[in-house]
Amino acid sequence: MSTKEETPVADGDKPQTSSWKDSIYNPRTGEFIGRTAKSWALILLFYLVFYGFLAGMFTLTMWVMLQTLDDNIPTYRDRVASPGLVIRPRSLDIVFNRTDTKQYVQYVQHLENFLQQYNDTVQERNELCMVGEYYEQDDQEEKKVCQFKRSLLRQCSGLSDTTFGYTEGKPCVLVKMNRIIGLKPRGDPYINCTAKRESPLQMQYFPSEGRFDKMYFPYYGKNLHSTYVQPLVAVKLLLTKEDYNNELTVECKIEGSDLRNSDDRDKFLGRVTFRVKVVE
């Protein structure tokens, strides 16, 4: 009882006589923010050991988790059931002046770089596969790759026309389908592009009809299938003089297969929409 009575007094003189400076460093007791150096050191040590242990535990659980993973196939693929479509050049707004090289050199450069891996010299090392059939090699140790030569893209290969039609105002756009391990599209997938306007826009597809051949499926993953190249479809937009200076919205969809192309939320699932505006 008596000790309790005295404590407020004993306590009392500390907060009253000490300024706020003392609460950071109190020279009388050697306390720094309410603790002595030794106390701080011990707390630091405690937390060091504690966090060390936690780090160890975390590493251990992560290691165990990583052990359960397959090197070649991810555990779940349900979130990528259907592939997305993307275009090259990597821009959804292709705007350029066909007379001004500077404005489209970036697109041309980009396409050129992208097509490096499709160079015929590179692709000739790959297999020639059966057209129209899945190239299944589940039991093979080494997965082979079917060749997709750049030259297949004809006018859009950049070989004959190194500017991919940008100078003539009829730009090429490469449509590619996302790689998904084990994906085998049923039916005959092909790309169909439409311009969102009254009159249809003339387009050319390479390879013909914009088909993705089945021989490029399935994909076996980066690890096993390291030199795999995905098939491409080049679309040459045959713009006319009337189309210049107008913004044109083009939507490309994958059709003729079970691949989804009309998801509400995902505007890139089996389709891609981009805008083209060529200025004269």
Partner 1 sequence: MGYGRSDSYRVATSQDKDGKSSPSKKNKKGKDMDELKKEVPITEHKMSIEECCRKFNTDIVQGLTNAKAAEFLIRDGPNCLTPPPTTPEWIKFCRQLFGGFSILLWTGAILCFLAYAIQAATEDEPAGDNLYLGIVLSVVVVVTGCFSYFQEAKSSKIMESFKNMVPQQALVIREGEKMTINAEEVVAGDLVEVKGGDRIPADLRVVSAHGCKVDNSSLTGESEPQSRSPDCTHDNPLETRNVAFFSTNCVEGTARGIVVCTGDRTVMGRIATLTSGLESGKTPIAKEIEHFIHLITGVAVFLGITFFILAVCLGYTWLEAVIFLIGIIVANVPEGLLATVTVCLTLTAKRMAKKNCLVKNLEAVETLGSTSTICSDKTGTLTQNRMTVAHMWFDNQIHEADTTEDQSGASFDKTSASWAALARVAALCNRAVFKAGQDQLPILKRDTAGDASESALLKCIELSCGSVKQIREKNKKVAEIPFNSTNKYQLSVHETEDPNDNRYLLVMKGAPERILDRCTTIIIQGKEQPMDEEMKESFQNAYMELGGLGERVLGFCHLLMPEDQYPKGFAFDCDDVNFTTESLCFVGLMSMIDPPRAAVPDAVGKCRSAGIKVIMVTGDHPITAKAIAKGVGIISEGNETVEDIASHHTGSRSANSLCSLMFPLLSLSDAKACVIHGTDLKELSQDQMDDILRNHTEIVFARTSPQQKLIIVEGCQRLGAIVAVTGDGVNDSPALKKADIGVAMGISGSDVSKQAADMILLDDNFASIVTGVEEGRLIFDNLKKSIAYTLTSNIPEITPFLLFIIVNIPLPLGTITILCIDLGTDMVPAISLAYEAAESDIMKRQPRNPTRDKLVNERLISIAYGQIGMIQALGGFFSYFVILAENGFLPSILVGIRLNWDDRACNDLEDSYGQQWTYEQRKIVEFTCHTAFFVSIVVVQWADVIVCKTRRNSVFQQGMKNKILIFGLFEETALAAFLSYTPGMDVALRMFPLKPSWWFCAVPYSVLIFVYDEIRKLLIRRNPGGKWLSLSLYNI
What is the binding site for partner 1 (CB under 8 A)? 1-2, 4-5, 7-9, 11-12, 15, 34-35, 38-39, 42-43, 46-47, 50-51, 54, 57-58, 61-62, 65-66, 69, 72-77, 79-80, 83-86, 90-92, 176, 178-181, 219, 221-223, 225, 228, 263, 265-269, 272
Instruction: Considering the complex, state which of residue 30 and residue 34 has its C-beta at the smaller distance from partner 1.
Output: 34
Instruction: Considering the complex, state which of residue 239 and residue 259 has its C-beta at the smaller distance from partner 1.
Output: 259
Query: Phi and psi (nearest 5°) for 175?
Result: -110, 130
Neighbours of 19 (CB within 10 A): 8
Q: Cβ 144 to partner 1, closest distance in Å?
A: 16
Which residue has 């003392």 as its token pair? 22
Instruction: Considering the complex, state which of residue 11 and residue 100 has its C-beta at the smaller distance from partner 1.
Output: 11
Q: Cβ 54 to partner 1, closest distance in Å?
A: 6
Q: Cβ 42 to partner 1, closest distance in Å?
A: 4
25's enclosing H/E stretch is: strand 25-26
Q: Is residue 215 a contact partner of residue 173, using CB atoms and an 8 Å limit?
A: no
Instruction: Considering the complex, state which of residue 24 and residue 54 has its C-beta at the smaller distance from partner 1.
Output: 54
Neighbours of 248 (CB within 10 A): 18
Instruction: Considering the complex, state which of residue 173 and residue 239 has its C-beta at the smaller distance from partner 1.
Output: 173
By C-alpha distance, which of 218, 104, 97, 215 is closest to 163?
A: 104
176 has which bridge partners? 86, 232
Q: Is residue 205 a contact partner of residue 267, using CB atoms and an 8 Å limit?
A: no
Instruction: Considering the complex, state which of residue 51 and residue 105 has its C-beta at the smaller distance from partner 1.
Output: 51
Which segments of the chain are extended strands (E)?
A: 25-26, 31-32, 85-88, 93-97, 172-177, 187-195, 203-206, 232-237, 248-257, 271-279
> What is the DSSP secondary structure assignment for residue 146, as one 8-state letter?
B
Report residue 31 CA to chain centroid gap. Answer: 54
Q: Cβ 90 to partner 1, closest distance in Å?
A: 8
CA 221 – CA 7 distance, rounded (Å): 72
Instruction: Considering the complex, state which of residue 197 and residue 222 has its C-beta at the smaller distance from partner 1.
Output: 222
Q: Cβ 266 to partner 1, closest distance in Å?
A: 4
**Pairing outcome for strands 93-97 and 271-279:** parallel
Q: Cβ 179 to partner 1, closest distance in Å?
A: 5
Report residue 198 CA to chain centroid gap. Answer: 34
Q: Cβ 223 to partner 1, closest distance in Å?
A: 7
